[in-house]
Chain A
């Protein structure tokens, strides 16, 4: 075995690198955001009118510079991450619970539930989330809770499909048949025997979707359809920074970098997980 592995040392090293890089990026971002209140007690709202549009690396007080009202870019980037991470994790948590339950039921019982689920999947595939969100948020107004709600509504189907697919093949397997034969109740079969077997692919999809939803949230907020523009958020900072992109590049560079590095960290972790948990490449 050792000989075979040694033939591709690069591969193994990079695979580990992928995990380390992903974990470090995600870890730093999450940690910074969790400590935002301690690091920047003013929540990125404090302004210094004598230091407006200060370029980065000019002053120790504002290492990433300041915006047009003299607010510290670093403080706002760290504080603003809270919105993105909240939306990313909360939306995925909601969708995964709903989707997994629906997928387990549809895959195990088939029939009408299965049909409803698959038709939902067809609709969901045809309409990109951003278009649904555009319509509804344009009409009902934005806000964190609505963003999360729409993400859950439009993404639970992905988990449901994934789980349904696995359950369809699992339910024919001997261990499930045996459990049913000795009289184990349906809900115990579903929760004790089927659920643990579908967790791997779910975790991978969750990681990738947290990344994806952070991107979606920032796009919508950038377009003025997401989080309240008065709350510091990455998308909102980029929308403000756009006006100053000619004169003050740093206002729009750093929040974007923050989004990219967070999403990259999660994507690296997701990719690494895919290799570890799903080597046959179903996802």
Chain B
């Protein structure tokens, strides 16, 4: 078990290193941030530029800068924003909870929706209702997430006036962003529940439970669902990356003050330390969640460890 955890952790560290290296390298491709910072500042001499470079640590070789970034990452110092000199960690600290709130609420809503739907489809495998659920899930998969978000605004804010079109003031403003993500997540999750449930339902203990005369609901939701839980949690955990990718886009439509909005503001302002921090933090978050899911799966199912 220790060997298994060590291998997974080593792999996660490797992935984080590659991702941060990639992002740092990409940021270097932007050219000279000193010139960008000095733009609009009137007459700037070469000496001024050099002073800015030294202040930002840009005069050092790339690898030294990268190691400095890693060190900052470990100590929670992600540098300062080009705009207003705010510490980046503060900006990220403000935006990350908003993104996580959206992620977990939409994930929770989608699980609540997809479990009964998926079980219903599995029980009625091949029948009309199963096929309808299947086609509906394909429709859900085909929505461009940002367009679904716009259509929600069109219907529920503009036409009906029920919900605020943007921002994060109260619970009502959470409804549409979370619903958009939940619909798209449910489209995938229904299929996962259905497939896992089909496998479980063919097991002998399900037959025994039924022949004991247990009510169908107890058989499905107590006996079968519990045995589906582990693979389901794993699959859903592995989707976290996709969920974050979707949220980043949807946040833009609803002006939700999360990591996505922070990233786009940074892109518009060419505020690269912020962009670098957002991408790095999101990537680490995804890696950590995948790692946790992996290890948890290994803990409950010993067969995974030897694989």
Contact = CB atoms under 8 A, between A and B. Distances in A.
A252 to B, nearest CB: 6
Interface stretch (B81-89, B131-139, B171-179, B297-305): B131-139
A259 interface: yes
Interface residues of B, number: 56
B126 A8 contact: yes
Contacts of A259: 144, 147
B164 to A, nearest CB: 14
Contacts of B19: 123, 126-127
Contacts of B282: 131
A260 B144 contact: yes
A242 B150 contact: yes
A132 B275 CA distance: 11
A135 B23 contact: yes
Interface stretch (B91-99, B105-113, B115-123, B151-159): B151-159
Contacts of B104: none
Contacts of A215: 142, 144-145
Contact of A267 (B15, B127, B138, B249): B138
B101 interface: no
Given A126-B290, A131-B248, A131-B279, A256 B150 contact: yes
Interface in B183-200: 195
A271 interface: yes
Given A123-B19, A128-B244, A135-B23, A222 B146 contact: yes
A264 B144 CA distance: 11
A64 to B, nearest CB: 16
Nearest to B290: A126
A8 B151 CA distance: 37
Contacts of B275: 134-135, 138
A241 B144 CA distance: 15
A29 to B, nearest CB: 12
The B interface, classified by DSSP as helix, strand, loop or mixed, is helix
Interface string A239-274: 001100110010011001001110110011001000
B234 to A, nearest CB: 13
B114 interface: no
19 contacts: A10-B126, A11-B130, A11-B131, A125-B290, A127-B283, A130-B248, A134-B267, A135-B27, A139-B30, A238-B146, A238-B150, A242-B150, A242-B253, A245-B153, A252-B147, A256-B147, A260-B147, A268-B138, A271-B134
10 smallest beta-carbon distances between A and B, as pairs: A128-B245, A256-B147, A264-B142, A130-B245, A14-B131, A263-B142, A138-B267, A11-B126, A128-B241, A10-B128
Interface of B: 11, 14-16, 18-19, 22-23, 26-27, 29-30, 126-128, 130-131, 134-135, 138-139, 141-147, 150-151, 153-154, 158, 195, 238, 241-242, 244-246, 248-249, 252-253, 263-264, 267, 272, 275-276, 279, 282-283, 286-287, 290
